Structure 1
């Protein structure tokens, strides 16, 4: 039975975690389920699709906004229940939910090894948009000298225009007014002037780096390496055993930077646009 959920109960979250464990054990890699978002659903909007067989969860699909123009869909189907149309039912329901929301496009995240996921996307009219490498750092980062001119601090209300401008320059899309209001948003300053931004969020023993950008005019000067090293050290000091991030497969400069600090590729994910 497919159900739509506005907010997830503790029992539902546990069922999703159990399903994730079964899927990763069978397929390897990882799933982009955005646990921070799942645990903090507002309960005001339907954002998740679940397929149940009694009390056992066989399939899940989440809708994620991330403050970007495109909505993202990511989900999974129990390995023992595949071939029964569950993926089709989940994606159909998810795309219908997206039609009711304001967005520029919808992106379905498909792990590259998943032939069934790629076929599902194509059958529903999805077209390849871009691909990202998921990377993880399971230990301490490689040591990097700290530039005394660079500081990293929490963003304030007064920083919002600068944060949105940095996101626009770095990612090529117009951020919404809410961009930068995440309490985990950080501002990077060089000689007192904002030159970058990032979000650092810890969930349990894992920490994620999101929306990391250095002003294009200042890239290649070691700022990104210095800042990312600081973020990883902060996450480790705060109790995280693993730090993760994503990078577009076409961004060779960033990929080289991340791997030089100790990040290791986990899986490549393809994004299909609808």
Structure 2
């Protein structure tokens, strides 16, 4: 076996093709999915890195590594079921995190990925922390209705406040929303104050809904349903074919809301944490 590893911020066309081939082969053979945003492949971003693991000219391992949270590295691994490959990539990811002064590594895997789960349990380095559902809208089950809400683009001066809503913390305890995320964020205002926000990530005909939150004193008034429904209606008017979101598996209130709107659970992703100590 002739091994070559690289960490890079930009992918070439043949590398993207190799990743997609590995992903499709694993998905087909083992009936699993990966938490992997397609925009990872198309845009260079200082917060995204790619680890590629080659055996001669064959890609046998890939890790999508993102640290939108400066203290945590989120990692999705696509690996040929070989413990030696996973061990080597795991070492590389930990070394990279230490060099970048990142405190935590979050590995994300499909609950159905028995190889990865057994590896996590066997190495005894990562601890399970939580799970989230990836949900997709069944479009013919969505019923457009008049919401009487007007969603508007977020303003620069609202970046800190929106981030505090998302993190459920005081504004002075939270990093302001990233400018790139702020550009994709829509808000609902009342008396010139933001009472709800939602971020829309578009990739071709697919749209992901993230960062959805309603200010605590305005919850249980139907505002969340109106914001989600209005966002969906606007996306469908723009010919969106695939609308998805993610929600923690224990958040029964949100799950009930999304199901009633027309979303269906697609994949259950487990999160495992590794804390880096000096």
Q: Identify the TM-score tier after normalising by the shorter chain.
A: 0.7 to 0.9
User: So what's the TM-score if we normalise by structure 1?
Assistant: 0.88
Q: Which runs of 5+ in 1 are unaligned?
A: none
Indicate conservation of the 8 Å contact 1:138/1:241, yes or no. no
2:176 and 2:154 map into 1 onto residues whose CA distance is: 15
Distance 1:27 1:144, change over 3 A: same
Per the TM alignment, residue 41 of structure 1 is displaced from its structure 2 partner at its CA by 2.4
Give the Å deviation of 1:202.
Answer: 1.3
Q: Is the 8 A contact 2:161 2:171 kept in 1?
A: no
Deviations 1:137-187 (A, max 9, x none): 142562254443x32111121221321221222899954234354221222
Cα offset, 1:84, TM superposition: 5.3
Q: Which moved more, 1:156-165 or 1:105-114?
A: 156-165
Number of aligned residue pairs: 269
Q: Structure 2: how far apart are the matches of 1:120 and 1:172?
A: 40
2:53 matched residue in structure 1? 51
Q: CA contact under 8 A between 1:199 and 1:212: conserved in structure 2? A: yes
Quick one: distance in 2 between partners of 1:172 and 1:265? 33
2:160–2:174: 8 Å Cα contact kept in structure 1? no
Report the Cα offset of residue 73 of structure 1.
0.6
Matched residue, 1:155: 154
Worse-superposed segment, 51-60 or 200-209: 51-60
8 Å contact from structure 2 (residues 65, 73) kept in 1: yes
Q: Secondary structure at the match of 1:110?
A: strand
Q: Where does residue 98 of structure 2 map in the other structure?
A: 99
Indicate the residue corresponding to 1:23 in structure 2.
Answer: 26
Note if 1:195 corresponds to 2:195.
yes
> Residues 27, 226 of structure 1: CA spacing in aligned structure 2 closer, same or farther, 3 A cutoff?
farther
Structure 1 window deviating more from structure 2 (114-123 vs 207-216): it is 114-123
- TM-score norm. by structure 2 comes to 0.86
Which range moved further: 113-122 or 173-182? 173-182
Change in Cα spacing, 1:211 to 1:85, as seen in structure 2 (3 Å) is same
How many Å apart are 1:190 and its aligned residue? Answer: 3.5
Do residues 8 (structure 1) and 7 (structure 2) align? Answer: no
Check whether the contact 2:142–2:261 (CA below 8 A) recurs between aligned residues.
Answer: yes
Distance change >3 Å, CA 144–CA 103, structure 1 → 2:
farther
CA distance in 2, matches of 1:37, 1:169: 28
Q: Deviation of residue 60 (structure 1)?
A: 0.6
Counterpart contact for 1:76–1:87, Cα < 8 Å = no
Distance 1:191 1:207, change over 3 A: same
**1:108-147, aligned counterparts within 5 Å?**
108-122=107-121, 123=123, 125-140=125-140, 142-143=142-143, 145-147=145-147
Q: 2:147·2:226 contact (CA, 8 Å) conserved in 1?
A: yes
Gap runs ≥5 in structure 2: none
Contact 2:187 2:194 in 1 (8 A): yes
Q: Distance in 2 between matches of 1:140 and 1:237?
A: 14
Q: Does 1:73 align with 2:72?
A: no
Query: Matched residues in 2 for 1:173 and 1:111: separation?
Result: 36
Using the TM superposition, give the Cα deviation of residue 45 of structure 1 relative to its aligned residue in structure 2, in angstroms: 7.2
The alignment partner of 2:87 has SS state of helix
Q: 1:213 and 2:213 equivalent?
A: yes
Q: CA contact under 8 A between 1:68 and 1:175: conserved in structure 2?
A: no
Q: What is the RMSD computed on CA atoms of the aligned residues?
A: 2.5
